Structure 1
Amino acid sequence: MKIRRTYLSIIPRIFLSSHNHIRTFSVYSVRNIKEKCAKFHNKNPLVSNCFIYGGITGFTELTQQTVQLKLVPYWTDKELSSYDLASLARYTCLGLVVFAPVLHYWYRFLDRKYPSNTKIVVMKKVALDLIVLGIPLYAFFYAFMCGLEGNSFQQILKELEKKLLATLLAGAAFWVPAQTINFRFIQPSARILFISLCTFIEVNILSVLKKMDFDD
């Protein structure tokens, strides 16, 4: 009887010890993964950014399609009966080979050209980002996506004529405050994380605009 009581008293200790070991291992594993990711990003920032943006743009389109399928099955007149894998691939490709390299070198140029974060410098960066980068990048977004969809040059021009101005206005409304925060308060080393979160929101907006029919 005494042995049984001793055995039963040991069980909670064994369980608590195992739980502490598992928790310590989990914390160490997460910390180790974070350190390896940070090390890889520091050594290969362009490759890291490409994977991040490619993943974000692809995931954004996935969320759009999930909304269409599960929550609101009527964004447009076209019914979506299943996930459009081709569209997912197009948006992933957009982030991987277009947005990521362009934004990587663009922000590196701006930070080297204007290293300060004073109000005047921030205003210059925001204006340059919106005018010098924003207009051609949004135009290329529609041309690139329409080209991958197999549209003709005339169809691409029609798409730009219908949607580019609305996209620029929506982009300005979103990015002016976002980039003001970015250039004013975010350290260059943490810029990619902040921009990634903003990009998720923006690409959702672009995805909606791309699917909308402006003729109605």
Structure 2
Amino acid sequence: MTYRFFKYYQDFLRRRPYLVQAIQTGGLMATGDVISQVIIEKTYWRDTDIQRTLKFGSIGFFIGGPALRTWYGVLNKYVGSQGKIVAIKKVFLDQFLFAPSFLCILLISVAALQRKTWDIIKVDLKSNYFDVLTTNYYIWPWVQILNFYYVPLHYQVLVVQIVALFWNTYLSWKTNKQIALKNL
């Protein structure tokens, strides 16, 4: 059963890489949001905000998955696919070009889906962006060096998304902290 599922996954990934990456990123972001609500924010299962979860997951489906797959493809094409130096170059580019811009887009997207005004979004960015980016630098360079050095391109987004389950839980909590506090 597991072998058949993995074989189906590999075949689907080969035929539709962007769709697979979008589905798994959206699903894992939604899961991270549920974990945030239930474990961190101590919401009962029956009281979870399904709309919030769907919105957070949609960012993964429409933005995160496609952006990550495209980015990793660009890195693979222009930087290379193997070797220690290649992995280090990829991590540098990933952390100093992609991560800052992607996190900004992510934070703006979450706030926009929360129907915040542009003035509130700017305030949220000012108070959260550097904290999120700093936390990113504690986690992701180490994950990415292993990912870029050992993992084939078509599995790199999956590896990142497995680790990102915890990261998405943090991001969901961070971007919904004020809303969660109002509901207490």
**What is the TM-score with the length of structure 2 in the denominator?**
0.88
Opposite residue 136 of structure 1, the aligned amino acid is S
1:52-91 to 2 correspondences below 5 Å: 52-68=24-40, 72=42, 82-91=47-56
In the TM superposition, residue 112 of structure 1 has moved relative to its aligned partner by 1.3
Tell me the equivalent position of 1:212: 177
2:132 maps to 1:167: yes
- Structure 1 distance, partners of 2:27, 2:46, is 24
Over 3 Å counting, the alpha-carbon distance change for 1:38 and 1:118 in structure 2 is: closer
Residue 60 of structure 1 aligns with an amino acid whose one-letter code is G
1:156 aligns with 2:121: yes
2:122 and 2:172 mapped to 1: Cα distance?
18
Match of 2:160 among 170, 183, 195: 195
CA distances 1:96-150 after superposition (whole Å, capped 9, x unpaired): 0010110010001101112243333222211111121111111111111111111
Q: CA RMSD in A?
A: 2.0
Q: How does 1:24-63 map to 2 (within 5 A)?
A: 29-63=1-35
Cα offset, 1:80, TM superposition: 9.9
CA distance in structure 1 between the aligned counterparts of 2:29 and 2:165, rounded to whole angstroms? 7
Could you tell me how far 1:33 is from its partner in structure 2?
2.8
Residue 107 of structure 1: which of 55, 59, 72 is its match?
72
Structure 2's unaligned 5+ residue stretches are 179-184
> For 2:47, what is the secondary structure of its paired residue?
coil
2:148 to 183, 208, 211: 183
- Tell me if structure 1 keeps the 8 A contact 2:83–2:149: yes
In 1: Cα distance, 2:177 partner to 2:74 partner: 34
Assess if the C-alpha contact under 8 Å between 1:68 and 1:80 holds in 2.
Answer: no
Cα distance change of structure 1 residues 160 and 42 upon mapping to structure 2, 3 Å threshold: same
8 Å contact from structure 1 (residues 146, 156) kept in 2: yes
The aligned residue for residue 95 of structure 2 is: 130
Percent of pairs with identical residues? 18
Q: Which structure: larger Rg?
A: 1
Unaligned runs of 5+ in 1: 1-28, 74-78
Scaled by the length of structure 1, the TM-score of the pair is: 0.76
Q: Which amino acid aligns with 1:147?
A: A
- Whether the aligned pair in 2 keeps the contact of 1:54 and 1:96 (CA below 8 Å) is yes
